[in-house]
């Protein structure tokens, strides 16, 4: 379904955040017979709905919202509406057409798009792809789950998108190049179970992409991929890291050394893997990476990383504060912890509790000396999961500001205070950017 298909039809946009606002604006421009906005979860975090938005799409809140959704020809749901929402289950049972803004946009732009998803690594990888493409003379527009709704993107010849499982689930068109960085259980409460999550995530690949690029070292991803043809990155016949001419780790294209691992300024083995995936995407788009390795290396060295992914915050106390607000699951937090191995470390965990299994985090910290501070809502459950580990000190704090204050007291000089929540931000913050803002402000206020 395309935006143009909504002309003359009754449309309800479900959700009033960034995605919902973008959908209302885009749908209104195509002349629907009726357009309303529905918000069933209005609270203190809700954004103002007034002016031009309210004129073209009156806002319906609370229980009345379901009647308006059920009466619509088409419901455009925001990504934050879970697959398990009782209203959504009932709408689909009744045969109401449900789509998303990302699906509407992709129907018109798939042939010009690189789409990146994954249970971890999708933000950094998509950002790397966009950065490197620009450096080699392929300008592009970058957006998606990273902060710019697809329906707000300007016209361009090439797009690079970071896509969440929620955005992928409604797609009926795959991008030209479909990328998956990793796969492990996440968002299970929103998708209905582990297999349902994998199904929705891999829907990115289900509609005829020209090229599929995946992390070939991820065993679960390889198993779920099945017999789909794909470029398997991280293996010796593709882009990978191995000893180079000087004996240190180098990035390679098959058996050809490209440039040293130290060229990439991002810490952690996972980030080296992210770059390998990005290089494979450049190759899929016709860039001769080995022939242009010096040019690519210069661009890699200039990459700044993301504002909310292992971003260090300047502080004069001697401690290093690190914002990793984008780490919304235990596996992402584990990679962040590994990036600071060898330094005294305090990690702040907790956020929206989606019922994730934190046993992998416990197993990862079995032999590690570390302080873990849990904050609501899931922090206490994470701390309980870590109980009994002999070298893990656990504490609880009432909120993020209190956790930063406590971390200053508990972390030795020259140590690291890492916000890597292993949980989403929703419920107490508008989004991961808001959580980062509160963390940075807390660092300043507690100095």
Does residue 173 share a domain with residue 87?
no
Q: Is 118 annotated as a binding residue?
A: yes
Which tens digit of pLDDT belongs to each residue from 304-345?
877 788 888 878 889 999 999 989 889 889 989 998 989 999
Radius of gyration of the chain (CA): 22
3-state secondary structure of 187: coil
Question: At residue 43, does pLDDT exceed 80?
Answer: no
The C-alpha atoms of residue 407 and residue 401 are separated, in whole angstroms, by 10
Stronger pLDDT, 427 or 26, i.e. the higher one = 26
Q: Is 409 annotated as a binding residue?
A: no
Asked, for residue 100, whether it belongs to a domain, the answer is no
User: Which of 95, 114, 133 is a domain's end point?
Assistant: 95
Q: Is 147 annotated as a binding residue?
A: no
Q: Who contacts 223 (Cβ-Cβ below 8 Å, separation ≥6)?
A: none
Q: Is 130 annotated as a binding residue?
A: no
User: Which of 73, 95, 117 is a domain's end point?
Assistant: 95
Does residue 345 share a domain with residue 205?
no
Which CATH number does the domain housing residue 35 bear?
3.40.50.720
User: Which of 254, 276, 302 is a domain's end point?
Assistant: 302
The C-alpha atoms of residue 99 and residue 181 are separated, in whole angstroms, by 25
Q: Is 121 annotated as a binding residue?
A: yes
Does residue 193 share a domain with residue 86?
no
Does residue 383 share a domain with residue 318?
yes
Domain count, the chain: 3
Burial class (CB in 10 A: 0-12, 13-18, 19+), 319: buried
Does residue 333 share a domain with residue 283?
no
| Domain membership of residue 134 as a residue range | 105-302
Question: At residue 44, does pLDDT exceed 50?
Answer: no
Task: Tell me the pLDDT of the chain averaged across its residues.
Answer: 93
Does residue 126 share a domain with residue 77?
no
The C-alpha atoms of residue 92 and residue 108 are separated, in whole angstroms, by 24
Q: What is the pLDDT of residue 188?
A: 59
Asked, for residue 143, whether it belongs to a domain, the answer is yes
Share of the chain above pLDDT 70, in %: 96
Which tens digit of pLDDT belongs to each residue from 144-185?
886 689 999 999 999 999 999 989 999 999 999 999 999 986
Report the run of H or E that residue 173 belongs to, with start and end.
none
Tokens linked to 433: 């950017």
3-state secondary structure of 69: helix
Which CATH number does the domain housing residue 182 bear?
3.40.1190.10
Asked, for residue 264, whether it belongs to a domain, the answer is yes
């Amino acid at each position: 379904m395309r935006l143009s298909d909504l002309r003359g039809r009754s449309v309800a946009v479900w959700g009033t955040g960034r995605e919902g606002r973008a959908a209302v604006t885009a749908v209104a421009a195509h002349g629907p017979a009726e357009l309303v906005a529905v918000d069933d979860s209005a609270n203190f975090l809700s954004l103002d709905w007034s002016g031009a938005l309210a004129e073209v799409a009156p806002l319906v809140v609370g229980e009345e919202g379901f009647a308006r959704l059920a009466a619509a020809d088409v419901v455009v749901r925001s990504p934050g509406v879970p697959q398990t929402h009782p209203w959504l289950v009932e709408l689909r049972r009744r045969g109401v057409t449900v789509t998303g803004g990302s699906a509407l946009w992709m129907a018109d732009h798939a042939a010009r798009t690189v789409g990146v998803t994954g249970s971890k690594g999708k933000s950094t990888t998509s950002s790397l792809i966009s950065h490197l493409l620009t450096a080699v003379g392929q300008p592009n527009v970058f957006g998606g789950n990273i902060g710019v709704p697809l329906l707000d993107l300007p016209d361009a010849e090439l797009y690079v998108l970071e896509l969440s499982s929620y955005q992928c689930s409604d797609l009926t068109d795959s991008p030209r190049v479909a990328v998956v960085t990793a796969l492990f259980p996440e968002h299970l409460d929103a998708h209905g179970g582990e297999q349902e999550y994998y199904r929705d995530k891999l829907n990115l690949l289900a509609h005829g992409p020209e090229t599929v690029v995946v992390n070939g070292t991820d065993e679960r991803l390889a198993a779920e991929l099945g017999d789909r043809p794909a470029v398997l990155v991280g293996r010796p016949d593709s882009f990978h890291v191995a000893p180079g001419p000087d004996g240190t780790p180098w990035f390679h294209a098959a058996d050809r050394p490209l440039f040293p691992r130290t060229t990439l300024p991002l810490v952690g083995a996972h980030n080296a893997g992210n770059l390998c995936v990005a290089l494979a995407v450049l190759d899929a788009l016709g860039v001769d990476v080995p022939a242009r390795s010096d040019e690519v290396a210069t661009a890699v060295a200039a990459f700044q990383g993301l504002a909310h992914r292992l971003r260090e915050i300047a502080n004069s106390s001697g401690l290093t504060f690190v914002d990793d607000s984008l780490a919304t699951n235990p596996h992402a937090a584990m990679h962040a912890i590994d990036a600071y191995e060898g330094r005294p470390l305090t990690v702040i965990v907790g956020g929206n509790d989606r019922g994730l299994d934190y046993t992998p985090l416990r197993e990862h910290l079995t032999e590690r000396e570390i302080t873990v501070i849990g904050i609501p809502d899931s922090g206490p459950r994470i701390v309980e999961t870590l109980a009994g580990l002999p070298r893990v000190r656990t504490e609880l704090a009432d909120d993020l500001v209190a956790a930063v204050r406590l971390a200053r007291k508990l972390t030795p000089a020259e140590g690291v205070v890492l916000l890597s929540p292993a949980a989403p931000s929703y419920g107490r913050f508008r989004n991961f950017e808001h959580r980062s803002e509160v963390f940075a402000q807390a660092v300043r206020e507690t100095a």
